[in-house]
Structure 1
Amino acid sequence: MKRTRPTINPGVVGALFAAVLPAHHAADYLFQRHSDAVNKGEAGAVGRRACTRHVASHTLVQVAAAYGMARATGVRLRPSSVLAGAAVSAITHWVADRREPLRKAAYALGKGEFHDLGKARPGHDDNECVGTGAHFIDQAWHMVWLAPAVTLMARGARMVR
């Protein structure tokens, strides 16, 4: 008997993206512990623990948003697909939020100057602003990976109404 691969409904992908994108922002800005935001990019165990805590809560918020959308619209998601998409989002989020990998990538791609925009300058009385180049690169990275993550979440979903 021929096995068929689960299909991906573009409408479900769009609905998931519409649900998970604001959840991403809420998890990154509203629900993230201040200590995790400050420490997640630090070297060593303190940074790794802070980043892991943040990514765990971030992933829970995204999965809750996905299932909330599914319940509200009559879509049945496959738990294995949601897990796969959440794993892509979590792993790529953790890498980005450790900060050094994205900084190295920015410099390797000739975007080092953009990365450093808005950063406090040593020897000056500057305050680092929220809208730094590093922040925009971080968010761009998350958006790039959010698309395949929700596409995986939609794999095999079906309408139940």
Structure 2
Amino acid sequence: MFSHASNTDTIATIATFAAVFVVLWVAHTVGDHWVQTSAQSAKKGQHDRNPGQSSRVGRLACTRHVIGLTLTKVLLLGLSAIVLDLPLTVVGVTVGLSLDAASHWWADRRSSLAWLAKVTDRTEFYNLGTSAHSFHPVTAEGKPAGHLGTGAYALDQAFHAFFLFLAALIIAAV
């Protein structure tokens, strides 16, 4: 549709995209849930309430998380490229993973994703599963109840998946 590449080239690019997307998704899940430390998860969204150290702590925690996450993606992508003989380029991988890392850092600072939910009229869903939502989960005694996730988490993961898709397109096409 956009180029005059041979059918074989098109099929190879599509196969590369599919493989890269799967690898990035697996690496994202491992990096976000197994590689990220509890401290990084707890602190990466900290911002200044009073001028001082809290915003710096948050930025550093988020940066450390994204470095670990990106290294996980590099390792799994490199292993997959070797085993599957994927035709990847240094430029494609660098541009794709840089876009992914920057978008991940932006979203994981939390206030930015909350802002995006607000401007897209998704605040009610963002608050789902928290006490800020009108239907927050409670026990029979009216105390906060455990649950499997929040709207903020679901929107966070959907945001990351979108940028994994873009990164895989770039990596496969460049």
Category of TM-score, reference length = shorter chain: 0.7 to 0.9
Do the aligned partners of residues 62 and 48 (structure 1) sit closer, same or farther apart at CA in structure 2, a change above 3 Å counting?
same
Aligned positions, number: 148
Q: Is residue 11 of structure 1 aligned with residue 5 of structure 2?
A: no
What's the counterpart of residue 164 of structure 2?
146
CA contact 1:47–1:98 (8 Å) conserved in 2: yes
CA RMSD in angstroms comes to 1.8
In structure 2, the gaps of 5 or more residues are: 1-8, 48-54, 133-141
Counterpart position of 1:52: 63
Q: Which has the higher contact order (CA 8 A, sep 6+)?
A: 1
Paired residue type of 1:63: V
Runs of 4+ displaced beyond 2 Å: 124-130
Gaps of 5+ in 1: 1-6, 157-161
Scaled by the length of structure 1, what TM-score is found? 0.85
Q: Which has the larger radius of gyration?
A: 2
TM-score, length of structure 2 as denominator length = 0.79
Per the alignment, residue 30 of structure 1 pairs with: 34
1:91 aligns with 2:102: yes
Contact 2:62 2:109 in 1 (8 A): yes
User: Cα distance 1:129–1:46, how it changes in 2: closer, same or farther (>3 A)?
Assistant: farther
Determine the C-alpha separation between the residues in 1 that align with 2:42 and 2:116: 21
